[in-house]
Amino acid sequence: MLKSLKMGVLPTIHCRQRSYAEYIKEVIDETIMEKLEIQPFLSASKAFCIADMGCSVGPNTFYSVQNILDAVEKKFISEGFAPDQIPQFQVFFNDLPFNDFNTLFKSLHPEKRYFSAGVPGSFHGRLFPDSSLHFVHSSYSLQWLSEVPPEVLDKDSPAWNQGRIHYTNAPEVVVEAFAAQFAKDLGMFLDAREKELVEGSMMVLILPSSPDGIPFSDVPTGVLFNHLGSCLVDLAKEGLVSEALVDSFNIPMYSVTPREMRQLVERNGCFSIERMELADCRTDPDNTVTGYSIAMHFRAGLEGVIKRHFGAEIINELFERFLERMDDVIPSLLSSNAEGSQLTVILKRKCYH
């Protein structure tokens, strides 16, 4: 277990996913009310089909899906449909096959107002038949790359990422390799969804971001990746893990900028951007984050990839160090740019008739 350090309460620098979801609820409500077209849906099918991509095991996914369902019902009523004309809802919970779908299914509310199904597989490829979805949601999942870009693992490449675990603070060529991998992955995601979504339907994507023109090392997550990297390098210096393992470790994650996101959506060409905004983490109503809560949050998010690469034995030692040395990074965290580290993008599948 992590030791609990007596650490002062920091101003909010890293928002919890749930409270950001509360902020997002408003965005989803407004979007569905103003922009969802229900005509294309009505001619296509009898059930309104929602997919949550990268749903994990709950409970955030249940909350998001319920928000969408409530907003769609409200929209139907506002357009003059009688309650018995409101469609039935089918919800698809998607994640990778190793996700614990049993936990997810066991936690489904018995009185939920939708039919549910699990859909295992990578959202970088096709998961559904043509024109079968009416709403896609994905939060905090698209930042995960399908793989570490091969050149950062290649000792003979200028992009070899020796002594670092991410592109934060790395030479430009490393940053570019990660950006190119993200572009490829998001391209595949959009190509697949373009075929699966009914024309006129919508997609809400929420993901960690960096504001345009700010190096990742200046945003809170970048500062923390750097900190984790230096803890790992120290473990290697003390002989507790091999240096070669640290060199070959890279967190397969990318924080897209709004400008890049716009370019990638335009490159695909089948979606219009209805709304795109960077959120300030300080929308968190619970305005307190401690070193301990940051370390726990980080551990929860990264434990899986670290274990798969280094083995389970180093986890406790690594995160104890991470926590013990939080004091060293607090000044950089406080001066980092937390203005826009979460991006919300709302896309509409274009109609061609």
Which residues lie near ligand SAM (CB under 6 A)? 17, 54-56, 60-61, 94-96, 99, 122-124, 139-141, 144, 146
161 binds, among ligand SAM, Mg ion, none (CB under 5 to 8 A by kind): Mg ion
Half-sphere CA count of 318, side-chain side, radius 13 A: 24
Give yes or no for residue 161 binding Mg ion (CB under 5 A): yes
- Radius of gyration (Cα) for the chain, nearest Å? 21
Nearer to Mg ion, 174 or 345 (CB): 174
Answer for the pair 123, 141: CB distance below 8 angstroms, yes or no. Answer: yes
- In the numeric block, the tokens 């005509």 are attached to 39
CA-based nearest residue to 146, from 194, 116, 182 = 182
User: Residue 120 Cβ, how far from ligand SAM at the closest point, in Å?
Assistant: 8
Helix (H, G, I), strand (E, B) or coil at 218: helix
**C-beta contacts of 187-192 below 8 A and 24+ residues apart:** 187/264, 187/267, 187/268, 188/124, 188/125, 188/146, 189/123, 189/124, 189/142, 190/264, 190/265, 190/268, 190/270, 190/271, 191/268, 192/123, 192/124, 192/125, 192/126, 192/127
User: Residue 24 Cβ, how far from ligand SAM at the closest point, in Å?
Assistant: 9
Q: Is omega for the bond preceding 59 within 30 degrees of 0, making it cis?
A: yes
Nearer to ligand SAM, 96 or 244 (CB): 96
95 binds, among ligand SAM, Mg ion, none (CB under 5 to 8 A by kind): ligand SAM
- Count the helices and strands in the chain (H runs, E runs): 11, 7
Amino acid at 11: P
User: Residue 20 Cβ, how far from ligand SAM at the closest point, in Å?
Assistant: 9
Map the footprint of Mg ion across residues 230-249, applying CB under 5 A: 247, 249
124 binds, among ligand SAM, Mg ion, none (CB under 5 to 8 A by kind): ligand SAM
Nearer to ligand SAM, 54 or 291 (CB): 54
User: Residue 17 Cβ, how far from ligand SAM at the closest point, in Å?
Assistant: 5
Give yes or no for residue 344 binding Mg ion (CB under 5 A): no
Nearer to ligand SAM, 246 or 256 (CB): 256
Answer for the pair 164, 170: CB distance below 8 angstroms, yes or no. Answer: yes
Instruction: Name the residue with the smallest CB distance to ligand SAM.
Output: 54
139 binds, among ligand SAM, Mg ion, none (CB under 5 to 8 A by kind): ligand SAM
Nearer to ligand SAM, 144 or 310 (CB): 144
Burial class (CB in 10 A: 0-12, 13-18, 19+), 226: buried
User: Residue 169 Cβ, how far from ligand SAM at the closest point, in Å?
Assistant: 23
C-alpha to C-alpha distance for 22 and 28, rounded to whole angstroms? 10
User: Residue 300 Cβ, how far from ligand SAM at the closest point, in Å?
Assistant: 9
User: Residue 124 Cβ, how far from ligand SAM at the closest point, in Å?
Assistant: 5
144 binds, among Mg ion, ligand SAM, none (CB under 5 to 8 A by kind): ligand SAM
Answer for the pair 220, 330: CB distance below 8 angstroms, yes or no. Answer: no
Nearer to Mg ion, 185 or 247 (CB): 247
Under the rule (CB under 5 A), what is the footprint of Mg ion?
161, 247, 249
